[in-house]
Amino acid sequence: MRNIIQDQLTHEEQLEAENLVSKLEAIFIDKLSALTEKERQDYKAINERNKLFVNKVWDYRRHSAGLSSPDVDWQEFESDYKARAFAEYLLGRIGSIAYRLESTKILHDHDNYRDALNDYAYSQYSKGAGKPGFTEKVAELKQFFNRTKSQPKAEENTQ
């Protein structure tokens, strides 16, 4: 199958997408955190059960405020709750776009690789026909193909 993907963004659409991503980056530059790996381990994302717990506490706060702890800053709780919900909403949308971009890139990579293999085959044919320049081209491209067969691993004696 050749050229499995043909729909491409126009140059203008590419520029618009870049500009929109730049705008998002500008909006988020001082607003989003970037945890270290250790911090990610320390804080961890809460699991679904704990999210349900937080939702239930928030539900009690909204409907039975008299049952809420006076030791909690409920304005900060609400602010965190809404910010988390918005972040999750955006992550879902951006994640969907990222998945589709990655899938599209895979298809373009596939097309490029198949065409490169066709070009290599043509170069080998042209080299065999004695056309000038193809000996060097084939020699240069040959490095990308492993000609040695992988040896099966020796079976360990488990007796």
- The residue extents of the domains of the chain are 35-142
Q: What is the CB neighbour count within 10 angstroms for residue 123? A: 20
Quickly state the pLDDT bin for 7 (edges 50, 70, 90): confident
Quickly state the pLDDT bin for 144 (edges 50, 70, 90): very high
Distance CA(126)–CA(110), nearest Å, equals 24
Q: What are phi and psi of 154, to 5 degrees?
A: -65, 130
pLDDT digits over 26-68, tens only?
999 999 999 999 999 999 889 999 999 999 999 999 999 999 9
> Mind giving me the DSSP string for 50-87?
HHHHHHHHHHHHHH-GGGS-TTS-HHHHHHHHHHHHHH
Distance CA(54)–CA(88), nearest Å, equals 15
pLDDT digits over 69-110, tens only?
999 999 999 999 999 999 999 999 999 999 999 999 999 999
